[in-house]
Amino acid sequence: MVIILKQEHEERQLDNLLKWLAGLNLRTTLIKGERSTILGLIGDTSLVDIDMVKAIDIVESVRRIQEPYKEANRKFHPDDTIIDVSGRRIGGRNFTVIAGPCSVESCEQICEIAAKVKKSGAVMLRGGAFKPRTSPYAFQGLRAEGLEFLLEAKKKTGMPIVSEIMNVNHISMFEQVDIIQVGARNMQNFELLKELGGLDKPVLLKRGLANTIEELLMSAEYIMAGGNKNIILCERGIRTFETYTRNTLDLSAIPLLKELSHLPVVVDPSHATGVSRLVKPMSLAAAAAGADGLIIEVHNDPSRALCDGAQSLTPDVFEDVVDRICELLPLLGKNPVRNEKTYD
Amino acid sequence: MVIILKQEHEERQLDNLLKWLAGLNLRTTLIKGERSTILGLIGDTSLVDIDMVKAIDIVESVRRIQEPYKEANRKFHPDDTIIDVSGRRIGGRNFTVIAGPCSVESCEQICEIAAKVKKSGAVMLRGGAFKPRTSPYAFQGLRAEGLEFLLEAKKKTGMPIVSEIMNVNHISMFEQVDIIQVGARNMQNFELLKELGGLDKPVLLKRGLANTIEELLMSAEYIMAGGNKNIILCERGIRTFETYTRNTLDLSAIPLLKELSHLPVVVDPSHATGVSRLVKPMSLAAAAAGADGLIIEVHNDPSRALCDGAQSLTPDVFEDVVDRICELLPLLGKNPVRNEKTYD
Amino acid sequence: MVIILKQEHEERQLDNLLKWLAGLNLRTTLIKGERSTILGLIGDTSLVDIDMVKAIDIVESVRRIQEPYKEANRKFHPDDTIIDVSGRRIGGRNFTVIAGPCSVESCEQICEIAAKVKKSGAVMLRGGAFKPRTSPYAFQGLRAEGLEFLLEAKKKTGMPIVSEIMNVNHISMFEQVDIIQVGARNMQNFELLKELGGLDKPVLLKRGLANTIEELLMSAEYIMAGGNKNIILCERGIRTFETYTRNTLDLSAIPLLKELSHLPVVVDPSHATGVSRLVKPMSLAAAAAGADGLIIEVHNDPSRALCDGAQSLTPDVFEDVVDRICELLPLLGKNPVRNEKTYD
Amino acid sequence: MVIILKQEHEERQLDNLLKWLAGLNLRTTLIKGERSTILGLIGDTSLVDIDMVKAIDIVESVRRIQEPYKEANRKFHPDDTIIDVSGRRIGGRNFTVIAGPCSVESCEQICEIAAKVKKSGAVMLRGGAFKPRTSPYAFQGLRAEGLEFLLEAKKKTGMPIVSEIMNVNHISMFEQVDIIQVGARNMQNFELLKELGGLDKPVLLKRGLANTIEELLMSAEYIMAGGNKNIILCERGIRTFETYTRNTLDLSAIPLLKELSHLPVVVDPSHATGVSRLVKPMSLAAAAAGADGLIIEVHNDPSRALCDGAQSLTPDVFEDVVDRICELLPLLGKNPVRNEKTYD
């Protein structure tokens, strides 16, 4: 950490600051120039509250040099985290495809899609039971009933299921859900993150629309600090001025996250672009950029989907996407995760 | 609502679409051109799920013409909403100053600041008991104890209190809090908004970092749709590429929100800029742009504030800000709300 | 300047770096920690090419502490720059209103508006002869003829004129134009800036849509480094995700620019918002935030303006805006600049 | 084009508007609802000045349905444009690699790099003679001398050369340059674009930092409207709030641009990210997303590059990037362009 001091400081104030920093077990070096004075801090600064330092009256600005996250930091955990979800792995040399509809609409619908995406190469099933919608008048999901239908589809196909949580009070309802998804809008719902930190269940954490890579890692840190280390990071587009796409998919986040962290990184090309015909090129690009997997919206009848249908693929197109990716993977040093166990 | 159709559509598909729209009680007019076909919809389209329309396979794109919010819409509620909080009013010709520290740190601290900001012209007290912090290692607020201290300061000064909620399960703890604040990170925590819709208590709803004006109004609509009409909108800066300020304060949101909606609009210049010396010019500018009030961070010892001190004013500077605003208000058609009842 | 070194560096490489920095007359202090090594530089770092330092293989990152601009920097020029334009002043305690149509359309039009805005309180006339338009098929301005008409309006009203330049080859055509405007899209047209640096004529430099405050000051520095110190900075909105307004007016840039620099700062509320009914509240807000003036679009027949009419005021509304601002100015420590000399 | 009218309009005003539109050879259909009136326009609306329509007083808003570009529009030119540059092709099924240093520094340097990148698979040489730099004190390029050195490298290696133009007056100096590059900061330097429209020479047009995909196509349209149809579009990152990377590379722009336009699209991963170790994953991702080529910075001694060295690859790493891409291309339906003619 580097602290830049205001030029007009009193010696007494500086002494107080130096004592306070020494009390935090940090070594300090003072560099005095004509127009600026710099204080370099050496030691474990990840626990220092940077806002507190900024608030000190003789401090002009503070620059962090070390990353503020530890559990999620590759420097302290050099090996890739590989998460095992009922035999399907995410991370390392594995490439994992998760697919399913935006919303669970009926038991028949989710079971039918589950069977189709499994056949095409998906190894986990996604489906929204609780739906975050901008409008209170839009379809909000089947909620508890939706989770039941998902579990039915899990039973029929053997595929682990991924579904989004929106409320700390719903955690008990997600007991049999294999991966709990935290949506972009809840990435900084810190109370929810803390609760998830106490579980022993993988969490798929989506990057918020206006959140930096560092903030995504800090949100992962919230869960990990609670003891739950099974975090899957998900890039799903950030908000920019461009209007052709719903969001701007930031694929450079993939190699960056994998450099900064040991956690697996998957990409959601469906929500990121909001345009179904961009899902294929963006899926291939995500794989080429080093992603550990994809989470793709597939609907058996996109023209009738209750929400977000514009970004859904048909099962046929989805199969083509998976086939094309599987062709690329050997050249990218990745192995596609397969459905080893067959159920129906 | 205007629907632009794909050129290569079958008549049968178009017929299905027209029947479906007729079932929604919408009148349709078809305009056929050489290179585009447009469908104009007349009627109450606010209940139409735009994503569902987009998903129909012969639809190229959809453009809303009516606003998707009703309760928050000035078209249906032309008069300003004026909210009465224990005798202090927000909205209409009133200008209301809310002030206090970022975090409640101790009973003495909050009571001392409360007395000071009241003396300087604040009519409500803000103070964070639950703090949303990017890092799990940063100070998270005194939580329940912080609310107690706030209530003590309320008892001593008679000022209504404003505090942020972060968890649906905490609602019962906020029973004696006069205004519940929803922070920027929770603006689209729809489950929380729904719960707040069932209360009979004013809600101060902050705009999210990456949220549009329409999304802010839709979040207000979530609460209002539940029955709670006492919403105060708060502009507090959006995230842009500029790095000198923490966020970019969007003051044009004030006249826009007041045109589109009847709800009062206050501005938080402290969090928006993150720089205490910008609070004064931005407070004056907010008043000049038509804001109904301000929510300002004040700390008795900014150099020791446990969080966000960099953006806090001293009580002296705060008094100067209020004095300057009170000079401007008559020229802006606003009256400052005063502390009529004195307690201590 | 603070240089953070990679942990795995050789002593030989570090020695080379230290020698190179010493050759630049910079004193260095090395701070070695377990996980990071920091190099603090003291001396005049404004001439150091930061990209060159970043490129050195043992450097992890570089952080500037001093501002990279000198001529535009208030630290070296503490007094406000006040620019005299044929007796009308910009900067200091003066508040200067510039007004006129987006485009010059005819001699009658510009002369008529000139007389009207002068009567309402404008002291300089703006009018576009060369128009930057997104589409090659849109009206591109009357060009040379437009400048002639502007000069005719100047002759008739005695008002200095402001017009935009788009091409280095047009400089000679601007000899009698009082202030040359550099538009947002040309803010980083460095070849144009260099040429303007050789003139002895005020330049109104607009902030680019995606440019930071520091980049705006660096573009001013380009002109000033050439010898031309008469720069007027202009905030006119930055591009964000919000779509209700054309751009997001960043009023916090005003106090920041005035703190960082001694140059006058004016605001263009018309282009910033693109909505004529926002011009009044944003003009008042800009004045309250400390702006040195405004540049406002006024059209005698907004419904027929050849370009950007949506953001133009009628002369009547403009007069009201100026009247309201003149009421506020005494409370803001500013004096309105008046048309002392009357011509017609 | 769809025009939404204000509710309170007079019949006379509407009649005037309808007559004016009829005069533009547009057919109109009026749709009247309770709370909105819509006017649908059928015909060639690409020549309609949308700002002019917006300015009409009874118009609330205008929405374009047809794209405002024609020459660049795939609807009117369904086949891919393939540009032949001295035997090297860009577009169609070709994948073209352009490489070279950020700046030309000396004749030896550019000739040495040229030979190296040619050996590694580049088929064109890039090198900056005129450099757009944020600071007037930073290295501005060798200018005319730099172009001479580039031509020398062209002579020695037979590779066509690409170099950036910054000034309309320099066009004659670029006579022997094979592809003229327009940088991001000049994407809307319309005067320059017009001049380039009169040439018979390929132009590589980079997307501006804050420019939409539509604006990029409109800038291409500027050049094409002048007669020069040989435009290569280049995605090089847009400015967002993320700070880990210099810009956010928008790879979804590739399939979108190729859908909307017939022009070839190349990607510059070096400037987009500003981080050399991201060049490889982003190059692979760009190829996978459907790019027609890459323009990559390579420096023989990145640690000593005069500018932008942080983003440059060594020739060895560059060779690895090209090798890896060439492995992927057959699976992506693309053929790498080779140096058929050998010179040295």
**Which residues 4-63 of D are in CB contact (within 8 Å) with C?**
46-47, 49, 51-52, 54-57
CB C278 within 8 A of CB C287: no
Give the per-residue pLDDT at C49.
74
**Are the beta carbons of C42 and A32 separated by less than 8 Å?**
yes
Chosen from C26, C27, C42, C245 to mutate, greatest number of chain A CBs within 10 A: C42
Give the per-residue pLDDT at D309.
53
**Are the beta carbons of D188 and C134 separated by less than 8 Å?**
yes
Residues of C in contact with A239 (CB under 8 A): 241
Residues of D in contact with B38 (CB under 8 A): 2, 40, 65
| Regions of chain D short of the pLDDT cut 50 | 305-307, 341-344
Are D2-63 and D83-336 equal in CATH topology?
no
Give the per-residue pLDDT at A20.
79
Pairs of CB atoms within 8 A across B/D: 53
**Which residues 224-253 of C are in CB contact (within 8 Å) with A?**
239-241, 243
CATH 3.30.70.1140 matches D2-63: yes
What are the backbone angles phi and psi of residue D187, rounded to the nearest 5°? -60, -30
Of the candidates A278, A287, A277, the residue with the CA atom closest to the CA atom of residue A324: A287
**Are the beta carbons of C332 and B284 separated by less than 8 Å?**
yes
Give the per-residue pLDDT at B310.
61
Place of tokens 């224990």: B86
Of the candidates D300, D326, D206, the residue with the CA atom closest to the CA atom of residue D257: D206
Residue of A nearest to B244 (CA): A61
C54 pLDDT band, cuts 50/70/90, is: confident
pLDDT 10s digits, A259-276: 999 999 999 999 988 888
**Are the beta carbons of A331 and D332 separated by less than 8 Å?**
no
Residue of B nearest to C248 (CA): B250
Q: One-letter amino acid identity for C200?
A: D
Give the per-residue pLDDT at B81.
98
The DSSP annotation for A251-312 comes to TTHHHHHHHHBSS-EEE-HHHHH--GGGHHHHHHHHHHTT-SEEEEEB-SSGGG-SSSGGGP
**Which residues 69-108 of D are in CB contact (within 8 Å) with C?**
none
Residue of C nearest to A4 (CA): C65
**Are the beta carbons of B244 and C212 separated by less than 8 Å?**
yes
Parallel, antiparallel, or unpaired: how do β-strands B265-267 and B293-297 relate? parallel
**Are the beta carbons of A55 and B303 separated by less than 8 Å?**
yes
Give the domain ranges of chain D.
2-63, 83-336
Residue B75: how many CB atoms within 10 A of its CB? Answer: 14
Instruction: Provide ipTM, 2 decimals.
Output: 0.91
Residues of C in contact with A38 (CB under 8 A): 2, 40, 65
Pairs of CB atoms within 8 A across A/D: 113
Residues of B in contact with A304 (CB under 8 A): 55-56
Pairs of CB atoms within 8 A across A/B: 136
Give the per-residue pLDDT at D305.
47
Distance from CA of C256 to the nearest CA of A (A): 15
Angle between helices B253-260 and B213-225 (to 10 degrees): 40
Of the candidates B180, B302, B292, B317, the residue with the CA atom closest to the CA atom of residue B235: B292
pLDDT 10s digits, B327-339: 999 999 999 999 8
**Are the beta carbons of A63 and C27 separated by less than 8 Å?**
no
Asked if D209 has any chain A CB less than 8 Å from its own CB, the reply is: no
What lies within 8 Å, CB to CB, of A117 at 6+ separation is: A99, A100, A125, A298, A315, A318
Q: What would the two tokens of residue A66 be?
A: 């070390």
Report, as an integer, the average pLDDT of A138-164: 96
Distance from CA of C85 to the nearest CA of D (A): 27
Residues of C in contact with B210 (CB under 8 A): 241
pLDDT 10s digits, C293-323: 999 999 876 555 444 556 788 899 999 999 9
**Are the beta carbons of A255 and D281 separated by less than 8 Å?**
yes
Residue of C nearest to A247 (CA): C241
Quick one: three-class SS letters along D79-110?
A: CCCCEEECCEEECCCEEEEEEECCECCCHHHH
Residues of C in contact with D210 (CB under 8 A): 208-210, 238-239
Q: What would the two tokens of residue B140 be?
A: 């998270």
On the question of pLDDT at C2 being above 70, the answer is: yes
Residues of C in contact with B254 (CB under 8 A): 281
CB C167 within 8 A of CB C182: no
| Regions of chain B short of the pLDDT cut 50 | 305-307, 341-344
Distance from CA of B246 to the nearest CA of D (A): 11
**Are the beta carbons of D285 and A251 separated by less than 8 Å?**
yes
On the question of pLDDT at A342 being above 70, the answer is: no
Give the per-residue pLDDT at A23.
79
Chosen from C212, C216, C242, C277 to mutate, greatest number of chain B CBs within 10 A: C242
Q: What would the two tokens of residue B89 be?
A: 């009013």
Q: Which own/partner contact pairs does A40-47 have at CB distance under 8 Å and 24+ positions apart?
A: A40/A1, A40/A2, A40/A3, A40/C2, A40/C29, A40/C31, A40/C38, A40/C40, A41/A1, A41/A2, A41/A3, A42/C31, A42/C32, A42/C33, A42/C34, A42/C36, A43/C33, A43/C34, A45/A1, A46/A70, A46/B137, A47/B137
**Are the beta carbons of B278 and C256 separated by less than 8 Å?**
yes
What's the rounded Cα separation, in Å, for the pair A312 and A303?
A: 9
- Give the DSSP H or E segment for C83: strand C83-85
On the question of pLDDT at A105 being above 50, the answer is: yes
Of B244, B277, B328, the CB nearest to C213: B244
pLDDT higher for C41 or A207?
A: A207
Q: What would the two tokens of residue A50 be?
A: 């940077």
Distance from CA of B86 to the nearest CA of D (A): 38
Query: CATH says A83-336 is which class?
Result: alpha beta
Residue B208: how many CB atoms within 10 A of its CB? Answer: 26
CB C312 within 8 A of CB C100: no
What's the rounded Cα separation, in Å, for the pair A301 and C338?
A: 69
**Are the beta carbons of A212 and D241 separated by less than 8 Å?**
yes
What's the rounded Cα separation, in Å, for the pair A235 and A265?
A: 7
Binding partners of B (≥3 Cβ pairs within 8 A): A, C, D
Of the candidates B292, B330, B315, B326, the residue with the CA atom closest to the CA atom of residue B120: B315
What's the rounded Cα separation, in Å, for the pair D212 and D202?
A: 22
Give the per-residue pLDDT at B343.
41
What's the rounded Cα separation, in Å, for the pair D172 and D175?
A: 6
The DSSP annotation for B53-92 comes to HHTSTTEEEEE--S-S-STTBTTT--SPP-EEETTEEEBT
pLDDT 10s digits, C95-126: 999 999 999 999 999 999 999 999 999 999 99
- Give the DSSP H or E segment for A194: helix A190-197
Chosen from D25, D28, D34, D42 to mutate, greatest number of chain B CBs within 10 A: D42
pLDDT 10s digits, B195-205: 999 999 999 99
pLDDT 10s digits, C197-215: 999 999 999 999 999 999 9
